[in-house]
A = this chain, B = another copy of it.
Amino acid sequence: MFEFEITAQDDSGARTGLFHTPHGVLETPVFAPVGTAATVKALQPRDLRELGSTLVLSNTYHLYLRPGDQLVRDLGGLHQFMQWDGPMLTDSGGFQVFSLSDTRKIDQDGVTFQSHIDGSYHRFTPESSVAIQENLGADIIMAFDECPPPRDYNYVKQSLTRTHPWLTRCLAAKTRPDQALFGIVQGGIFRDLREESARFMIPLDLPGYAIGGLAVGESKEEMYEVLEWLQPVLPANKPRYLMGVGAPEDLVHAVLRGVDIFDCVLPTRLARHGTALVRGGRLNLRNAKFARDERPLAPDSPVAQYSRAYLRHLVKANEILGHILLSLHNVGFLHQIMGEMRQAIRKNNLQQWGAEFLKPYGKES
């Protein structure tokens, strides 16, 4: 279980692989849509399967608060609860509670925080995060860590003195053999701290390594640099998971730097704001220029039967079907580019494919 086979390697360092989980084999590189509250917003599990989703993420913080992880366990676990029978991943709750900047207090043992739903007080520790994730029952679970402000060297350095012992405590607390616990490399935008964090985790021989604390305020160049530093440091035979990143250009840059797994709310959140991801950029469907545009969002879109004019109408009228169709499109688009990247890696021409794909994204790329 949790074997990672590398099936092809590109000169760039990108690779394709197969990651074995109790609910199926993941073809990597893979993008996971986010099902925060045990649902990928606006999409049915059947929709996800048809789009090519293979891995779905859910959030420990949200499910702990509502409906409660013990209830999910008693009803057969998260797979049964939300009727997703493929591989699943839960985060540790760490990122969410650290985002509640005004209402949480960190100490060396854990974090006390207030619920965003009713203001009630709660506490997460490495042990409770693992216990909750065991109740939820995802295939991949995450170590409880701190996500620090990425540019504050002293804070980030200090933060590693919590994140690293917390990882050790997570491993000690873990009891289920059918779940893989990934460690999360932190260290902000600082090479020495990133390498220190990676070197702490490598001897633990974890089934996978996440790269955390990115896409939280640093520049894209800084993000890509961190990935470049870590590429030769992280063990090549384990999957690498870049957390919370889903902009198409970032996916390409990160795969070129050896990343295997991604998750992000971006495609579904943009959809609810009326924005479609397309090759080279984004379409804001509120724009009047789409009012009579009979073209599909893209010829190969999963919702190519609908005109941009109709989608714009749904967005303007704030119709739920607009959220649904744009979510189908955006999630499908990210799966399409992941599929194209896997194919390019197999042909050893990801650098060429990437240069072509990134061209219209301008300076940022």
Residues of A within 8 A of B (CB): 37-39, 41-44, 66-67, 71, 74-76, 81-83, 291-292, 294, 305-307, 309-310, 312-314, 316-317, 319-321, 323-325
Tell me the complex Cα distance, A126–B305, Å.
Answer: 34
Instruction: Say whether chain A's binding surface is mostly helix, strand, loop, or mixed.
Output: loop
Contact among B42, B43, B307, B319 with A39 in the assembled complex (CB-CB below 8 Å): B319
Checking B74, B82, B309, B319 against A310 with a beta-carbon cut-off of 8 angstroms, the contacting residue is B82
**Are the C-beta atoms of A42 and B294 separated by less than 8 Å?**
no
Q: Which residues of B contact A320 (CB under 8 A)?
A: 39, 41-42, 320, 323-324
Q: Assess whether A75 is in contact with B294, with CB atoms less than 8 Å apart.
A: yes
The answer to whether residues A309 and B37 also contact, given A321-B43, A324-B320 and a CB cut-off of 8 A, is no
CB neighbours of A316 from chain B (8 A): 66-67
User: Is the Cβ of A39 less than 8 Å from the Cβ of B321?
Assistant: yes
* Chain B residues, Cβ within 8 Å of A307: 75, 81
- Find out whether the CB atom of B321 lies under 8 angstroms from the CB atom of A71: no
Residue in B closest to A309 when the chains form the complex, CB atoms? B75
Most chain B Cβ neighbours within 10 Å, of A76, A82, A321: A321
State whether A317 and B43 are in contact (beta carbons under 8 Å apart), knowing that A292-B74, A292-B75 are contacts in the complex: no
With contact pairs A320-B323, A323-B320 given, residues A314 and B39 touching in the complex (Cβ less than 8 Å): yes
Interchain CB contact under 8 A, B43 and A83: no
Contacts of A314 in B (CB 8 A): 37, 39
Residues of B within 8 A of A310 (CB): 38, 75, 81-83
Q: Which residue of B lies closest to A327 (CB)?
A: B320
Question: Can you list 15 A-B pairs with a CB-CB distance of less than 8 A?
Answer: A39-B314, A39-B319, A41-B320, A44-B321, A66-B316, A66-B317, A71-B291, A75-B292, A75-B309, A81-B310, A81-B313, A82-B310, A83-B310, A320-B323, A320-B324
